[in-house]
Amino acid sequence: MIGYGTGVQWVLVLLLSSLVVGRQITDDLIRLPSDHSSILDRVFHGSDKFNDDSVGTRWAVLIAGSNGYWNYRHQADVCHAYQILKKGGLKDENIIVFIYDDIAYNEENPRPGFIINSPDGDDVYAGVPKDYTGEDVNVNNFLAVILGNKTALTGGSGKVVDSGPNDHIFIYYTDHGGPGVLGMPTLPYLYADDLIDTLKKKHASGTYKSLVFYLEACESGSMFEGLLPEGLNIYATTAANAYESSWGTYCPGEEPSPPPEYDTCLGDLYSVAWMEDSEVHNLQTESLKYQYELVKARAGGPDAYYGSHVMQYGDVKLNKEMLYLYMGTNPANDNFTVGSDHNSLRPMPSKAVNQRDADLLHFWHKVRKAPEGSPRKEEAQKQFLEAMSHRVHLDNSIKLIGKLLFGIEKGPEVLQSIRPAGQPLVDDWKCLKTLVRTFETHCGSLSQYGMKHMRSIANICNAGITGEQMADASAQACPTIPSGRWSSLRGGFSA
């Protein structure tokens, strides 16, 4: 027979368990008696449920790979992501931020010192750690931070992912991209083989339990397609597949539109989708898969006239895990039950802007809004014309090189070829980087826009063209090296 004292103890356990489960646990899992101890510990000792030892330490690396006010949205995305993680319980010492930091106090920013990520959004810039800014936002530092290699750093705060075997890592990258490459505000750019090699090294070091990678960029799927193997405990989602653009959002002319004083896009469609979802849900009960499906629908539903295909790569089985393992969760959302509000995200805007055209949209709105005859209007017209001229030059140069190498009829076919799903962009990444440098030596920098031509150059490699052949064709296509702002003589090489 159970004694009086013991019976009281059991009643207390059951009452407290019911109270806590009814209030916090909404994932429909049956809890075993062994779970009661941890529940009671939270009640009596106030332990941090988001940082207990069974979860390990949460680490996050957030990077905006661009600069320039016309790229406002990338730094806004990263600052917004920081605020979500901070509210989720992650500590600043475990959140590493890469932003060029030329937006908040840019002379074009209508609200100096503030950055917003949606038309009616709050300031997301306040409190953001500026670990790596300006020229310190580069490939070397980004990869060194992931590996926890302080000796390889070339500036910045010195913070790295100093993780252990039980820790969870979240990496979020937002920028322009192209087939097999991601942009940086500095040169060179980040190529897929170097990223995958770094992730493999991180896995080999045994310094994480699982890693989640969210990637916003055009052709972002190409960074993992045929390259990220299973078995690394890495789950990646991308804003687009391997051969399509991603999209900006909250842009001038859209509905909803940014405040009238803004002439640039405030966010990116994929990025805004996962962050606005994370802000309102209880991330203890929302899985990576559930968020993936919501974001996929918002970024490019079946009836959309524009948008992209959000993709998954790596150890997809990890998407069954709850988001709080990587992002924590805001206690204010504890009572939100996944499934109770399938329409919590805003609908897709009336239209969106291709990532690669966001700069033109910005320059055009500057031209339209500036007073006739003003220096501002003259400068905006100059920027617009320079950008258009650079695009035409790159497009024509690549087309001509293809015709010189493969003939007038076959050239376009080779350049535009897309490999079947599951195959990487190129067989020889060293060849790709060599041919990129060769092209840029003669024809100028590819720049953010020109990254779209990376597939054409990869196809030239896959066709067996040598560096000497590429040099001859590039010299014919570009008899003089451009001397403008995108000249490789001024900025260096993307590879």
Which residue numbers are catalytic? 176, 218
Q: What phi, psi does 279 have (nearest 5°)?
A: -70, -30
The CA angle 134-145-329, to the nearest 5 degrees, is: 95
The CA angle 31-281-351, to the nearest 5 degrees, is: 150
Kindly compute the dihedral angle of the four CA atoms of residues 367, 373, 376, 380, in this order, to the nearest 10 degrees: 40
Closest CA to 323 of 38, 28, 58: 58
Contacts of 408 (CB under 8 A, 6+ apart): none
The answer to whether 216 and 77 are in contact (CB under 8 A) is: yes
Q: What does the buried/exposed string (b/e) look like for 457-469 if buried means 16 or more CB atoms within 10 Å of the residue's CB?
A: bbbbbbeebeeee
- Cβ burial of 452 (10 Å; 0-12, 13-18, 19+) is buried
416: tokens are: 């535009």
Range list of β-strands (E), 241-386 = 247-249, 267-268, 311-314, 353-354
The single-letter code of the amino acid at 115 is I
The answer to whether 266 and 73 are in contact (CB under 8 A) is: yes
The answer to whether 173 and 213 are in contact (CB under 8 A) is: yes
